[in-house]
Amino acid sequence: MGICLNKQFIDQYEKLFSDHPDSNKAIQLYPAFSHVKIVHNDWYRLAKVEFNGLPHETEAFLKKWRSREQHPHLFLIHKIVTDETSRAVIYLDFPESIVTELDDESYLPLLDAVLQIMSKWQKQSKTYSYFGRDSVYKIRSFDGQFYYKILDPMLHPYLIQFYRKCWLQKNTRQLEQLLSKFYLSPIQLEALSKKVEYPIHNFYKTDVFCLGLFIYKCLTQDEDFYDLINYKVKLDKIRRNIQDLKLQNYAKMILLNMLEENEEDRPDFIQLELKFTHFSPELKYKRIFYNINSMIFEESLLQITQLVTEQNNDQVVPEEIQAFNFDERLDFENLHFSITTNTNPTAEIHKMVGKGFHSQMILNNNKQSNIELDEGVKRKTRIDLPCLGYADLSNWKTAEGMFTKGMLQGYARLTFSNGDKFEGFFVNNRANGKGTYIFHDNQYHKKEGTWKDNKFIITI
């Protein structure tokens, strides 16, 4: 991103690119902007966004887009130009095409790309949701490579408004419009049939299911997977078609696991990425992690960038991972895998319990690295574990409070996967003393009492 502050507006990119004949199509992909067009040269295309407003409006516009996350699998900002006249120009990635077809060679790279950004967002407690038919694009970057990238909600905020508008409509046409844009999980379909506006579900696992439908559709070109009369997903048909695909057995099993009907049997993005990383050697696939420096047109501009960029891969490692129940009708019991430095380079996996795909992965929970950083007031997030209610607080999802040597000490707040909350006092990372448990379905429904080592013992 470059910043020019001159009396005369200067945009050096205007000399490098000319208007594309299909510029009118840009507004369809970038409805967040009122003035956008496609520019190109002999090799590349970019979206050029122009903004003219009052000084405070331009300042707010620039603040928003300068703080946008840059990631190899998101649409990148290549340059921002502004001046004293309250005019601003942004150059963004423009896709070569939307992804509509996949084969045995492109399936794994696409899954790899989506998992990298989605699992990162989950570790930051960010949700994507509303995963749709137009969510994944193929973009040719300035290094000459093609990359799979997702269209994040910041570029297309009106999709969410469209989703909410169609959600509770009674007529079939509105439902068909909804399904023409978005994929829905079994829980969401059931909520539609009962006219439930805000169904309780795990957003990450729902997105995993919808990503699975997207991949299935691209592999088979089959779009007839909804029973709109009974509000069901035709999972039996989908499973049969997946078994007929010319994919490696492990690749089939990963896709089947993404499309588990029961949410508790389905992985979220963190769990799915760990499985994918562990089994990628069995798939003869090497994961690739890109650096955005090679994707930006002028690398020197990164030295003065004010965008939020990820220059390291430090991520919160969840403490534990649940077992996944794969489709038992397929016999993969004899498949063997082992934990080695190649299959487990980060030493996150402690051991594998069980055989084949009916195994359970246990993460290394004894790593002492960075323990000195776990000091002070912090907010930690773990993977979703089933809420055990006020009787046992062990399976919390997020914890906010004072950490000393990596453990909660003193007053803190817990949030659970179903939305329940707890506030109370902690000693050595466990609730000890008086506290209040608040139920998600009614903020006035509370349980007050005393806890010892996370267990409820006395009612006040």
Q: How far is CA 326 from the centre of its chain?
A: 22
Q: What are phi and psi of 172, to 5 degrees?
A: -65, -35
Provide the pLDDT for residue 162.
67
What is the full per-residue pLDDT of the chain (460 aa) written as tens digits? 444 444 455 666 677 777 777 776 676 777 777 788 888 876 778 888 888 888 888 888 888 888 888 899 999 988 888 876 778 888 888 888 899 999 989 999 999 999 999 999 888 887 776 678 888 999 988 777 899 999 887 787 666 666 666 666 666 677 777 777 888 899 988 888 887 777 888 888 999 999 999 999 999 999 888 888 888 999 999 999 999 998 988 899 999 999 999 988 899 898 899 889 888 888 889 988 888 877 776 543 433 333 333 333 333 333 222 333 333 343 334 444 444 444 444 444 444 444 444 444 444 444 443 434 456 667 788 766 778 888 889 888 888 887 787 788 887 889 988 888 998 888 888 998 888 888 887 666 788 888 888 888 865 4
Contact between 339 and 37 (Cβ < 8 Å): no
- Comparing C-alpha atoms, which of 61, 60, 58, 13 is closest to residue 37? 13
8-state DSSP, 133:
T
What is the full DSSP assignment across 332-370?
-TT------TTT-TT--EEEEESSGGG-EEEE-----TT
How far is the C-alpha of 398 from the C-alpha of 456, rounded, in Å? 19
Contact between 79 and 62 (Cβ < 8 Å): no
pTM: 0.65
Provide the pLDDT for residue 208.
94
Cβ partners under 8 Å of residue 428, min gap 6: 407, 409
What is the full DSSP assignment across 137-194?
EEEE-TTS-EEEEE--TTT-THHHHHHHHHHT--SHHHHHHHHHHB---HHHHHHHHT
Kind plus residue range of the DSSP H or E element containing 203: helix 203-220
Provide the pLDDT for residue 213.
95
Q: What are the structure tokens assigned to 391, written together? A: 């009787």
Cβ partners under 8 Å of residue 83, min gap 6: 4, 5, 6, 7, 8, 9, 10
What is the full DSSP assignment across 274-302?
HHHHHHTTTTT-------GGGTSS-GGGG
Q: What are phi and psi of 149, to 5 degrees?
A: -140, 150
- Comparing C-alpha atoms, which of 354, 346, 368 is closest to residue 326? 354
Provide the pLDDT for residue 10.
63
Q: Strands across the sheet with 136-140, in order?
A: 97-98, 136-140, 146-150
Q: What are the structure tokens assigned to 218, written together? A: 């691209």
- 3-state DSSP assignment of residue 459: strand
